[in-house]
Amino acid sequence: MRLTIERLGHLGDGIAEGPVFVPMALPGEVVEGEVEAGRMASPKIVTPSPGRVKPACPHYRACGGCALMHASDAFVADWKADVVRTALAAQRLEAEFRPVVTSAAHSRRRATLAGRRTKKGALVGFHGRASDTFVEVPGCLLLHPDLIAVMPVLSEITMLGASRKGELALTVTRSDGGVDLAVSGGKPLEQSLFSALADLARRAGFARMSWDGEPVANRRPPVQRFGAASVSPPAGAFLQATEEGEAALVAAVRDAVGNARRIADLFSGCGTFALPLAENAEIHAVEGEAAMLAALDAGWRRAEGLHRVTTEARDLFRRPLMPDELKRYDAVVIDPPRAGAEAQARELAGSGVPVIAAVSCNPVTFARDSRIIAAAGYRLDWVQVVDQFRWSPHVEVVARFSR
């Protein structure tokens, strides 16, 4: 069949009339290929888009780690901004959009790789495109060199700890103390396996290693720096994907809250926003995971020159902060997971807090929650899109709401 691509889907595939999904195709392109079950798996590009570039990675066609390497940076930035703009328009909202900030290649400091034993050894890499195959990625253009360097050790760990039919999830995080590794899906941690893994962690120079939540090695604190504070997050805890992306998000949040002196940071995690903001304001950090709050609090207590930071362990989905609790703050920062925070948005809408800095990784739930806030009389002042998941369809957003 010969088809013309009309738009991109939310996973980055081209979509033609039908709909027919076409991987690695861009809007306006004419493609040819066999269509099966609504998908053209191996398209030939007959008429390329001006936004098309040659993928820089030799693994790109097989690897599922990237979806948009065939598109120019300018095209991807415009598309990601349009994804957010379209989501807002569906809620009858519009705003000023600031220029998109894109993280550089080789900047991912955190990634989850898959490991599987084979008859001859082990495979460690990303899942293949639209399949359950594995693709090894030596020289990956996404990952920081410190993470690429430990790939051989991850293969050894897979050989030791993966069952014949199982699959390991290997979460590697770059820290000031070295690589922090959290493994899940492995064999039971018996003494012989524990000893072998601990020896591997020592030889590899890992800062820390855990196995299905159980500590195996803790040689140095896996420190992350949030402003003036040094924090050692719990094993596997959430962390922004790149330092550049985190810096862009923090800068936008700082700009949003301005000179606010009392700030509530909701879904605070380990202090990505709370601790930098504490340089100029008193902060109340609220988070559902007590271990992350403990790490935040320890980092604050060790730091110098920060204002007071208090913490509260609370499930904000079931027990959002209420208007009478929110009224004491000059600004609120809210950074929920992909599901958004509809219940908390409703309470924010009725709170009268002067400024809200909303951070999101899901344009659809961001737009839904924004509609709730805007309907109560808030103005959506501006939107900042941050692309820290380079060459992927994922989008990060910061927005400022004011009374």
Annotated binding-site ranges: 240, 267, 287, 335
Take residue 52 and report the two structure tokens written for it: 């098309």
Q: Does the annotation count 270 as an active-site position?
A: no
Strands 262-266 and 331-334: parallel
* Structure-derived torsion over alpha carbons of residues 35, 40, 43, 45, reported in degrees to the nearest 10: 90
Closest CA to 374 of 335, 395, 345: 345
Q: Is the dihedral of CA 360, 366, 371, 372 positive or negative?
A: negative
Q: What residue numbers does the annotated binding site for S-adenosyl-L-methionine cover?
A: 240, 267, 287, 335
Query: Which one of the listed residues 63, 66, 140, 361 is annotated catalytic?
Result: 361
Are the CB atoms for 263 and 329 separated by under 8 Å? Answer: yes
Mapped onto helix, strand or coil, the DSSP state of residue 57 is coil
Are the CB atoms for 250 and 236 separated by under 8 Å? Answer: no
One DSSP character per residue, 224-280 reads EEETTEEE-PPTT----SBHHHHHHHHHHHHHHHTT-SEEEEET-TTTTTHHHHTTT
Measure the CA–CA gap between 196 and 260, rounded to whole angstroms: 52
Measure the CA–CA gap between 122 and 117, rounded to whole angstroms: 4
Strands 30-32 and 101-102: unpaired
Measure the CA–CA gap between 241 and 247, rounded to whole angstroms: 11
Closest CA to 186 of 222, 204, 159: 159
Residues 6+ apart with CB under 8 A from 100: 77, 78, 80, 81, 385, 386, 387
Enclosing H/E stretch for 325: helix 323-326
Residues with catalytic roles:
361
